Amino acid sequence: MAGKHGLGRGLSALIRDTPVERPPVAAPLEYPQVEIARIRPNPWQPRRVFTKEALEELTASIREHGVLEPLIVRKAEDGYELIAGERRWRAAQEAGLAQVPVRVIEADDQKALELALVENLQRADLNVIEEAEGYQVLADKFGLTQDEISHRVNKARASVANALRLLGLPKEIKQFIAEGLLSSGHAKVLLGTGTEAQQCQLAERTIKDGLSVRDLERIVEQARSVPRKRRESKNDMPPDHLTYLTNRLHQHFGTSVHVQPCRTLANGRKIKGSVQIDYYSNDELSRVLELLGLSEQA
């Protein structure tokens, strides 16, 4: 993906800013080996979904080649706490390893979350909901602005903002995204629709019919272009009286008169009425004006 190179630099920069503890180790190991039992998972881990197939593939690789890249950890009271590399840690346990290589760094809670986010984003391991939830923790718990978050994880501010917007979707839709049933593109289209019930209905239809993002956009656009139902209203003048009044005006002016009564909408709002008097010459206009008590003279 386009941002991988930058994210790699972001992770390196974050780690370089922290002192690294490297206890003496016997050659040829570059990093110390730590018992898996002494490592606990990262409570700030933004990743929630670990697909079974991918984990099985990594487990098979570790059985054959071992853990080639060290886990990033920080010291804890009873051992170590993972910062990055939870998938490798899980696969190593499945592979039956007793020890794994680690890189020990100093990091507070905020730094631990930043590193975990960058490491997962670099590997494209996070779905967009997990990514957004990580950003939300940085904002809520550590008080970072969107600009600060984008700088810390080396992502465009617009990407951070768009991801955070998806957290406003119903829980059901966020689960669909986490499971890979809907893409972030689908999610952005659904954000522009009406109620949560409508969003969920469209999401389910998208999954059932295998709709592309473009298909979903067309459906939403068509729904918006459906003519609105005319608001109910009633004339403020009974039909019989309207006919009587129209005939009286016709007799009085000697020409066609059209009366449009005022109306009251269902919400109580009034719509104005009108009276139209027809004439077919200037002389006839003068006669109508005289009947109205008006003169053409200024």
Residues annotated as catalytic (active site), given as ranges: 86
Query: Residue 247, Cα to own-chain centre: how many angstroms?
Result: 62
Q: In sequence order, what are the beta bridge partners of 40? A: 81
- Residue 77, judged by CB atoms within 10 A of its CB (0-12, 13-18, 19+), counts as exposed
Phi and psi of 222, rounded to 5°?
Answer: -65, -40
Q: Own/partner pairs for 231-236, CB < 8 Å, 24+ apart?
A: 231/265, 231/266, 231/267, 232/265, 232/266, 233/263, 233/264, 233/265, 233/266, 233/271, 234/263, 234/264, 235/261, 235/262, 235/263, 236/261, 236/262, 236/263, 236/264, 236/273
Separation of alpha carbons 13 and 11, rounded Å: 5
Respond yes or no on whether the N-terminal peptide bond of residue 239 is cis (omega within 30° of 0).
no
- CA torsion 56-60-63-66 (nearest 10°) is -90
If one counts every other C-beta atom within 10 angstroms of the C-beta of residue 283, the result is 9
3-state secondary structure of 34: strand
Q: Of 12, 13, 34, nearest to 23 (Cα)?
A: 34
